[in-house]
């Protein structure tokens, strides 16, 4: 008998010599982990026992099939929940005929080979992901028998530095990522971290520390594009257990060729407790992202769905290389379809700002410039910037005589690089000369445009202007006969916008002004008190000259007066109604109206 690996064969009867007429019975007995498969040689088939005639010399082989899978003894990691993020993979594998292959995989990733040394395997220093971690180990023998085990390890970290998902934004807007630290106990007194991002899509990082962290010794490093380093240390105390805000980090979303996700990825470098000891384990960092959408209007770099002075500034900065021009930036700003970014694109923006051309809209229609500004949301007024109307020829004007209006920037936190305003005035005021003021540098591009009931001015340049205060424009008017019977001629400068970098557009307060007629005396404001309504509320009717601002005041003793509202007059015969609710318990109350 030959080749009987995996079992034994018995011969009955067993002799040293047989007569040609004799036969023997062969019985195959499989060893542990094997089973008999078939005979070969001078005997074939799976019959067991089998009869073999000995009419000649015979050679028979019994084949046994390996049916036992390898034995896998998986020692670590232990299945279940752990607070430690580092584990090792270890165990042993054996087989009745020997293991020919061993692999491991994690969370559905491609399998990796395991090296067996005397049947032992080990993969040290694996870092778990927060939550569920699925490990798989497989061992195989030469016969193809395989043993596979799956083990679930859940990591619940004791401390998590997390970047929250940020809301979707359009390119040009700012996107803000809240960064929090969660801990199971009040044990974190110090933290050093690093945040990485792609500077191709996120720029101008700004960091605002959380309330508790802001009271610590803290440091920031924003000097490397694509990276933010930060640390804080509390003096002898720790952050409360639970979730605490570490910081709010905002970026300007740069232009994008298509909608994409921009990620902010945190890395924990060290944590310490109130005594200065380190917290080396149980720490996790989880990143967040924000979707950046492409612009909806060509040239709209600051994402307010219109063309404004900020867009003109950004395009001019792209033109001269003060802003990086990526492959897609030319097409996004090529308003004159020249195939490149040039001064013509800046002019096209300013023409829309001052109303010489219609404003584009995301829906594909067109509206006039004034309406487009009304439809677009503006940020809150920044009180660091103040514009004013000045009358160098005095507040009184005569019919037919030239009379000047000066538009002045009184106060600005920083020198601007762009400014626009619309001055609205009565039809009887005829605009004559228009002059650009000394505030606007020689290298800036100014443009004027008429809008219904007024005039719009805009001026921009790639760089900040030399000064943050000064005269922006000087306008000369002449009153015609249409204003002969009107005592006051109202002016209003609105809207007024200013930009420093092109991306941040600041809307300033509306600026009212009144010019008095030299021939028609101004009538004093009048206040009347009609009977109260059925609900007990009172209505004050205030009549004042058109555009005239008056103050409504109240008192209970006729000595101390308190301002309750300011009213802009609508002219004779058109009272402005002010509704008030008399306070309970007051027996007498008086009201009056006066000019400021």
Taking a C-beta distance cutoff of 8 angstroms, is the pair 205, 251 a contact?
yes
pLDDT of residue 374: 35
Q: How many Å separate Cα 240 from the centre of its chain?
A: 28
pLDDT of residue 536: 75
Q: With bands split at pLDDT 50, 70 and 90, how would you rate the model's confidence at 384? A: low
Dist. CA 492–CA 478, nearest whole Å: 17
Which of the four CATH numbers 3.30.1330.30, 2.60.40.10, 3.90.1170.50, 2.130.10.10 does domain 71-155 have? 2.60.40.10
Q: With bands split at pLDDT 50, 70 and 90, how would you rate the model's confidence at 377? A: very low
pLDDT of residue 4: 56
Sequence length of the chain is 596
DSSP per-residue codes, 255-278: P-SS-EEEEEEEEEEEEE-TTS-B
Task: Say which DSSP state 49 is in.
Answer: S
Answer with the residue of higher pLDDT: 596 or 50.
50
Taking 3-state DSSP, the helix, strand and coil percentages for the chain, each rounded to the nearest 5, stand at: 5, 50, 45
Dist. CA 88–CA 126, nearest whole Å: 6
CATH of span 526-594: 2.60.40.10
pLDDT of residue 373: 38
What is the residue-averaged pLDDT of the chain?
89
DSSP strands (E only) in 273-417 = 283-286, 288-293, 359-360, 366-367, 386-390, 396-397, 402-411
pLDDT of residue 542: 87
Dist. CA 227–CA 220, nearest whole Å: 11
Q: Is the pLDDT of residue 555 over 90?
A: no
Dist. CA 479–CA 424, nearest whole Å: 14
Residues above pLDDT 90, as percent of the chain = 69
Beta bridge partners of 101: 140
Does the global pTM surpass 0.85?
no
When pLDDT is averaged across residues 287-291 and rounded to a whole number, the result is: 97
Taking a C-beta distance cutoff of 8 angstroms, is the pair 415, 468 a contact?
yes
Residues in contact with 70: Cβ distance below 8 Å, sequence separation at least 6, in sequence order:
93, 94, 95, 99, 139, 140, 141, 145, 146, 147
H helices present in 69-159, as ranges: none
Answer with the residue of higher pLDDT: 486 or 29.
29
Per-residue pLDDT of 105-123, as tens digits, reads 999 899 999 999 999 999 9
Answer with the residue of higher pLDDT: 115 or 3.
115
Cis amide leading into 13 (omega within 30): yes
Dist. CA 538–CA 542, nearest whole Å: 13
Answer with the residue of higher pLDDT: 95 or 572.
95
Per-residue pLDDT of 121-155, as tens digits, reads 999 999 999 899 999 999 999 889 999 999 999 99
Dist. CA 450–CA 370, nearest whole Å: 10
H helices present in 473-555, as ranges: none
Dist. CA 41–CA 61, nearest whole Å: 6
pLDDT of residue 378: 35
Which of the four CATH numbers 3.40.50.740, 2.60.40.680, 2.40.290.10, 3.50.50.60 does domain 159-293 have? 2.60.40.680
> Where in the chain are all domains bearing CATH 2.60.40.10?
71-155, 526-594
Name which of 149-153, 294-298, 591-595 the model is least confident about: 591-595
> Where in the chain are all domains bearing CATH 2.60.40.680?
159-293, 386-517
Name which of 412-416, 509-513, 583-587 the model is least confident about: 583-587
Burial of 466 (0-12, 13-18, 19+ CB in 10 A): exposed
Q: Is the pLDDT of residue 372 over 50?
A: no
CA triplet 510, 379, 442: central angle to 5 degrees?
A: 65
pLDDT of residue 2: 46
Q: What is the CATH T-level fold of the domain 386-517, as seen in this structure?
A: Immunoglobulin-like (2.60.40)
Q: Which tokens sit at 591?
A: 């009201």
Beta bridge partners of 291: 261
Dist. CA 566–CA 230, nearest whole Å: 49
Answer with the residue of higher pLDDT: 372 or 72.
72
Answer with the residue of higher pLDDT: 583 or 263.
263
Q: Find where tokens 């004050």 sit.
A: 540
**In the β-sheet with 590-594, what is the strand arrangement from edge to edge?**
562-568, 549-555, 590-594
Dist. CA 565–CA 541, nearest whole Å: 12
pLDDT of residue 574: 85
DSSP strands (E only) in 21-130 = 23-30, 34-41, 50-53, 60-66, 71-76, 80-82, 86-94, 99-106, 112-113, 120-127
Residues in contact with 595: Cβ distance below 8 Å, sequence separation at least 6, in sequence order:
525, 548, 549, 550, 551
Residue 441, by phi and psi: left (phi above 0), alpha (psi -120 to 50) or beta? beta
- CA quadruple 478, 483, 486, 487: dihedral, nearest 10: 20
Per-residue pLDDT of 156-185, as tens digits, reads 999 999 999 999 999 999 999 999 999 998
Side-chain half-sphere of 580: how many Cα atoms within 13 Å?
18
Dist. CA 465–CA 412, nearest whole Å: 12
pLDDT of residue 188: 95
Q: With bands split at pLDDT 50, 70 and 90, how would you rate the model's confidence at 375? A: very low
Per-residue pLDDT of 414-440, as tens digits, reads 999 999 999 999 999 999 999 999 999
pLDDT of residue 573: 77
């Amino acid at each position: 008998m030959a080749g009987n690996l995996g079992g034994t064969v018995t011969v009955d009867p067993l002799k040293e010599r047989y007569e040609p007429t004799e036969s023997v019975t062969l019985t195959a007995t499989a060893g542990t982990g094997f089973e008999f498969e078939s005979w070969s040689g001078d005997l074939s088939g799976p019959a067991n026992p089998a009869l073999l005639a000995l009419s000649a010399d015979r050679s028979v082989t019994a084949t046994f099939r390996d049916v036992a899978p390898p034995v896998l003894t998986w020692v670590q990691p232990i299945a279940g929940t752990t607070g430690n993020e580092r584990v090792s993979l270890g165990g042993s594998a054996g087989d009745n005929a020997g293991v020919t292959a061993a692999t491991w995989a994690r969370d559905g990733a491609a399998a990796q080979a395991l090296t067996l040394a005397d049947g032992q395997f080990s993969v040290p220093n694996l870092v778990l992901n927060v939550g569920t971690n699925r490990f798989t180990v497989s061992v195989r023998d030469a016969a193809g028998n395989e043993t596979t085990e799956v083990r679930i390890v859940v990591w619940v970290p004791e401390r998590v530095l997390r970047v929250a998902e940020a809301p979707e934004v359009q390119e040009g807007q700012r996107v803000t990522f809240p960064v929090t630290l969660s801990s199971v106990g009040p044990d974190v007194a110090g933290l050093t971290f690093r945040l990485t991002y792609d500077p191709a899509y996120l720029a101008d990082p700004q960091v605002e520390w959380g309330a508790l962290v802001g009271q610590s010794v803290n440091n920031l490093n924003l000097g490397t594009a694509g990276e933010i380093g930060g640390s804080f240390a509390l003096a002898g105390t720790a952050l409360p257990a639970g979730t605490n805000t570490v910081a709010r980090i905002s970026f300007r979303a740069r232009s994008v060729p298509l909608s994409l996700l921009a990620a902010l990825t945190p890395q924990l470098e060290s944590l310490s407790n109130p005594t200065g000891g380190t917290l080396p384990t149980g720490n996790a960092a989880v990143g967040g992202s924000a979707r950046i959408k492409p612009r909806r209007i060509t040239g709209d770099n600051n994402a307010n769905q219109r063309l404004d002075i900020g867009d003109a500034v950004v395009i001019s900065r792209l033109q001269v290389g003060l802003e990086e021009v990526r492959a897609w930036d030319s097409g996004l700003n090529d308003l004159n379809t020249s195939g490149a970014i040039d001064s013509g694109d800046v002019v096209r923006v300013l023409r829309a700002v001052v109303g010489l051309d219609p404003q584009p809209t995301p829906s594909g229609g067109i509206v006039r410039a004034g309406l487009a500004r009304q439809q677009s949301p503006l940020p809150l007024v920044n009180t660091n910037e103040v514009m004013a109307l000045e009358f160098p020829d005095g507040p009184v004007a005569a019919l037919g005589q030239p009379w000047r209006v000066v538009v002045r920037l009184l106060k600005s936190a920083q020198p601007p690089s762009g400014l626009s305003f619309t001055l609205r005035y009565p039809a009887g005021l005829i605009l004559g000369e228009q002059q650009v003021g000394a505030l606007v540098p020689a290298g800036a591009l100014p443009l004027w445009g008429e809008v219904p009931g007024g005039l719009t001015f805009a001026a921009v340049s790639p760089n900040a202007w030399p000064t943050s205060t000064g005269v922006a424009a000087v306008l000369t008017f002449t009153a015609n006969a249409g204003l002969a019977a009107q005592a006051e001629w109202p002016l209003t400068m609105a809207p007024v916008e200013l930009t420093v970098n092109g991306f941040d557009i600041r809307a300033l307060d509306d600026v009212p002004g009144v010019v008095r007629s030299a021939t028609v005396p101004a009538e004093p404001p009048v206040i009347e008190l009609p009977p109260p309504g059925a609900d007990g509320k009172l209505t004050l009717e205030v009549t004042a000259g058109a555009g005239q601002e008056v103050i409504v005041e109240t008192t209970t003793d006729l000595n101390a007066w308190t301002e309750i509202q300011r009213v802009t007059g609508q002219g004779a015969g058109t009272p402005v109604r002010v509704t008030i609710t008399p306070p309970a318990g007051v027996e007498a109350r008086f009201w009056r109206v006066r000019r400021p």
